[in-house]
Amino acid sequence: MRTTVAIVGAGPAGLLLARLLRNAGIDCVVLENRTRAYVEQRQRAGILEQGTVDVLRACGAGARMDAEGLVHHGIELRFDRRRHRIGFPELTDGRSVTVYAQTEVVKDLIALQLAEGPPLLFEARALAVEKPESEHPVVRFTHEGRERTLDCDYVVGCDGFHGIARAAFPDEVRRTYERTYPYSWLGILAEVPPSCDELIYARGEGGFALHSMRSPSVSRLYLQVPNGTDPADWSDERIWDELDRRFATDDGDWSLARGPITSKSVTPMRSHVTEPMRYGRVFLAGDAAHIVPPTGAKGLNLAVSDVRILARAFDHHHRTGSDELLDSYSDLCLRRVWQATRFSYDMTTMLHSQPGENAFDTRVHVARLHRLAASRSAAGELAANYTGLPL
């Protein structure tokens, strides 16, 4: 097989890049290790920044998002048993976020890819990227029981933290920066309408809690738990009781609706950044290059930012023959990645109880929350980061 851009991974980054390249008249092939059913059922993020919403609309993938997504104009912070809302449009020149699950974004992009786009091969397991520094790198992969090669001009690794694209970077070139947080999230899906109109981020008695939603009839909630927690150790009643405790306020005019819990999972919290995001003719995007804790809702949106920047660079090269934007891809993306990493770190440490935290540490974190509640400039900085910094 021969193509211009080989894309490894059919998550939102790989699929959106393929769509943007198609619209720019650049041919590509997408290789995905898993089945279509598996890819369309992976539970991931659900908050779309304004820029993510805009690019999905612009590339023709926004119809169902606009019909079913829930536009949110702010979030609520809870601490010291009090509530404080941060409104986004008035702090960000009209920007907002949309609740629309990553699984649905992927379904929409797959449908477009199969109907209109370049080849998308499921159960195509990428084995290695060869000759990454040459003008024509090669991706070796297996598909339909036999090994094949995909010859190309460029390779884009959208294959996640455990993918093969990053392995094409020599050890002496690749730098890794990591932080593992000393707690995890116990997440549930519940068949009950959300108890709030906007997300609630709570630093309550016992630790962090988040109230989110997947639809008007399905709630998504999270609890801070110790690393190594087994979801089976948490009964439904225990989960609801703990959520009640962490969301509690003194005004008493809000209550948490309970319903059947349909899934439970534990997500470790970590930050990971790989530099650079380009080696030779191999580019990394999304989780292949960086992971952030989910507190700031940046993971999916960072992946989208990566491929927007990369698609623009490929389009510029296609039209002009210039490598200028391709050469600046890694530096440009990493500036944004580190800002998102910093924001996610700040949100995480501010809202979570740290193991062994003393009274001084607690008061400092709560003071940060009070500053957000009292200062328009501080709230504006949070709103700007949450809704998405400009490219």
Task: Name the DSSP class of 2.
Answer: B
Q: What is the Cα Rg of the chain in Å?
A: 21
| Residue 264 pLDDT | 96
| Cα 349 to Cα 315: distance, rounded to the nearest angstrom | 40
Bridge partners, 219 (sequence order): 190, 213
* Marked catalytic residue, from 137, 211, 293, 298: 298
To the query of whether residue 136 is one of the catalytic residues in this protein, the response is no
How many Cβ atoms from other residues are within 10 Å of residue 186's Cβ?
23
To the query of whether residue 298 is one of the catalytic residues in this protein, the response is yes
To the query of whether residue 386 is one of the catalytic residues in this protein, the response is yes
Cα torsion for 28, 29, 35, 38, to the nearest 10°? -20
| Cα 215 to Cα 259: distance, rounded to the nearest angstrom | 14
* Marked catalytic residue, from 12, 72, 154, 181: 72
Instruction: Enumerate residue ranges in the chain where pLDDT < 50.
Output: none
| Residue 390 pLDDT | 87
| Residue 205 pLDDT | 85
* Marked catalytic residue, from 294, 317, 329, 352: 294
To the query of whether residue 38 is one of the catalytic residues in this protein, the response is no
Bridge partners, 189 (sequence order): 220, 263
- CB 289, CB 277: distance < 8 Å: yes
Summary count for the chain: helices (H), strands (E): 10, 20
To the query of whether residue 329 is one of the catalytic residues in this protein, the response is no
| Residue 353 pLDDT | 94
Token reading at 147: 């090994």
Structural domains of the chain in order of their starting residue, each with its CATH number:
5-72+100-178+271-348 (3.50.50.60), 180-269+355-387 (3.30.9.10)
| Residue 42 pLDDT | 78
Question: pTM of the predicted model, to two decimals?
Answer: 0.95
| Cα 310 to Cα 286: distance, rounded to the nearest angstrom | 11
* Marked catalytic residue, from 181, 183, 201, 329: 201
